[in-house]
């Protein structure tokens, strides 16, 4: 099997994993904490956007680049909520302020690119996704700063999750920065970038699914102990 055929099949694997995540989260909903329910809602939103992306691209045969800023907006709002609600002990106003500014920027970019005048895929550069990733990376770094400042090993909960988020969104930013070049590039190099992005997404989804599973088991164990 050639690399390009492999990439064509691999691109649907994240969708399959998201379906598994939604089924798992739905069946374990009552056992999930706010932490687990939040991750489930995020993965469910990802599935919605992914399904819309597939429908527009493979069924309607039209450009689906309009979905990316909407997804970026949803993702950014989720992680602002998730870190403030579930991961960070304190509220950091400078980070939250930058988050709000980024949300407003994404909204303005969407209006300018798709409402006031329609921008073609060849001209499209998703600064919204870069802004989204940048704030999430800042939140992850803030988590590390907060934990390192406590000098308390018992408060290093969710350290692995935070590191996965930090690494994933850092690498994702590197992939999306040259987005316009990759869209217009004809040598085939872009397929290696998109395949790398899909592999990262698969690993990220697998980890998030494991977090939902572990969260449901923690609550079940706590009930059994009582």
- Domain extents in the chain: 11-215
Alpha carbons 56 and 59: distance in angstroms, whole number = 6
Summarised one tens digit per residue, pLDDT across range 145-196 is 988 876 554 455 788 999 999 999 999 998 888 777 666 666 666 677 778 8
pLDDT at 199 over 60: yes
pTM listed for this prediction: 0.89
pLDDT at site 213: 94
Q: Which residue has the tokens 């949300």?
A: 103
Q: Which two tokens stand for residue 162?
A: 């935070």
- Name the pLDDT band for 226 (thresholds 50, 70, 90): very low
pLDDT at 223 over 50: no
Which DSSP string do the residues of 89-154 spell out, in sequence order? SS--HHHHHHHHHHHHHHHHHHIIIIIISPPPTTT---HHHHHHHHHHHHHHHHHHHHHHHH--GG
Least confident stretch, 17-21, 41-45, 57-61, 102-106: 57-61
**Mean pLDDT, range 103-123, rounded to an integer:** 89
């Amino acid at each position: 099997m050639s690399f390009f055929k492999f990439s064509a099949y691999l691109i649907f694997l994240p969708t399959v994993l998201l379906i598994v995540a939604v089924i798992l989260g739905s069946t374990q909903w009552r056992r999930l904490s706010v932490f687990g329910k939040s991750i489930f809602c995020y993965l469910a939103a990802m599935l919605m956007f992914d399904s819309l992306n597939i429908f527009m691209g493979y069924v309607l045969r039209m450009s689906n680049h309009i979905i990316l800023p909407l997804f970026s907006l949803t993702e950014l709002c989720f992680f602002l909520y998730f870190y403030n609600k579930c991961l960070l002990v304190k509220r950091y106003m400078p980070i939250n302020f930058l988050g709000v500014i980024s949300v407003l920027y994404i909204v303005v970019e969407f209006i300018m690119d798709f409402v006031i005048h329609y921008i073609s895929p060849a001209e499209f550069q998703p600064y919204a996704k870069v802004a989204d990733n940048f704030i999430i990376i800042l939140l992850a770094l803030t988590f590390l700063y907060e934990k390192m400042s406590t000098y308390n090993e018992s408060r290093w909960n969710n350290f692995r999750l935070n590191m996965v988020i930090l690494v994933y969104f850092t690498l994702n930013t590197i992939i999306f920065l040259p987005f316009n070049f990759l869209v217009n590039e004809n040598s085939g190099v872009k397929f290696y970038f998109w395949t790398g992005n899909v592999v990262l997404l698969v690993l990220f989804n697998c980890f998030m699914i494991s977090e939902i599973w572990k969260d449901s088991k923690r609550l079940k164990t706590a009930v059994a102990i009582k």
